Amino acid sequence: MPEMPEVETVRRTLIPLVKGKTIAKINIWYPKIIVNDPAEFIKKLTNKTILKIDRYGKYLLFRFNGDLTMVSHLRMEGKYHLVSPNTPKGKHEHVEFIFTDGTALRYDDVRKFGRMHLVETGTERKTTGIRHLGPEPNTAEFNLTYFINALSRKKKNIKNTLLDQTIVCGLGNIYVDEVLWKSKIHPLSSAQAIPADKVKNLYQNINHTIAIATKERGTTVHTYLDANGQIGGYQKMLQVYGHAGEECSKCGTILEKIKVNGRGTTFCPHCQVLYK
């Protein structure tokens, strides 16, 4: 699933492609992707212009004139790309926004899990999945005091806690494995049992890792591409994710992979301490 650095990269690469363009026609080939009534979705967005694209967590927010916002979640494998006029439809393309200049923005999703929800601008934090999200890394809301208090209330393991989007949004399997390794914390550690100094270190590693991964334009380990069809660069910097069975770069111990709440989780059994 694209995590915060990947979604932010998609946002940044989409803006120069579609900002200021007006929708002339919309084709919906897989209606379940649209949360609204598809006919109403088409009616409201036809002749509307994309003013800007924002993001919160893993959600893209397409802002249109007329106080409309399309909230888009890519889920596992969703992708946007711009095509020239009369480009043949791809097998996994499910929604198409044709602009007045003849170009079209298409949404491609092999698994069809992505969703688009059209709402009145300003209501997205009340009417969509965004309402359940906690703060993002590298924001004033995500401060150390908040993070310490959040973990102190959680008996569940730290891996599952960091994946909980109501606590901190934007993290997924890749970056959680990485920050836990950097912080020397075993993924099965009880969140509330982690010492204060280790929580501070974890907090710093979350912010730093997300910032660097965003600078590197995200991580491509499977199918992630930005709006220009380019892969990310952070996969070259991964230390544990995807490296099970290899030596830990810190101590040389073989990295192990286990399941944590159904998620594949790679860690170093020597470096990462289990706090109970």
Q: Is 75 labeled as ligand-binding?
A: no
- Catalytic site residue 3? yes
In the set 2, 5, 137, 187, the catalytic residue is: 2
Backbone angles phi, psi at 183, to 5 degrees: -90, -5
Give the Cα separation of 245 and 257 in Å (integer): 8
DSSP run (H or E) holding 130: none
In the set 11, 21, 58, 79, the catalytic residue is: 58
Give the Cα separation of 119 and 70 in Å (integer): 6
> Residue 260 pairs with which residues in a beta bridge?
263
Q: What is the DSSP string of 215-243?
A: HTT---SSS---TTS---SGGGG-SSTT-
- Catalytic site residue 8? no
Q: Is 250 labeled as ligand-binding?
A: no
Three-state SS string over 162-196 comes to HHCCCCCCCCCHHHHHHHHHHCCECCCCEHHHCCH
Q: Write down the residue that tokens 């170009």 correspond to.
A: 103
Contact residues for 107 (Cβ-Cβ < 8 A; gap 6+): 33, 72, 78, 79, 80, 93, 94, 95, 96, 114, 116
In the set 112, 198, 250, 263, the catalytic residue is: 263
Q: Is 243 labeled as ligand-binding?
A: no
- Catalytic site residue 2? yes
- Catalytic site residue 58? yes
In the set 3, 6, 8, 77, the catalytic residue is: 3
Binding residues for DNA: 92, 111, 154
Binding residues: 92, 111, 154
| Catalytically annotated residues | 2-3, 58, 263
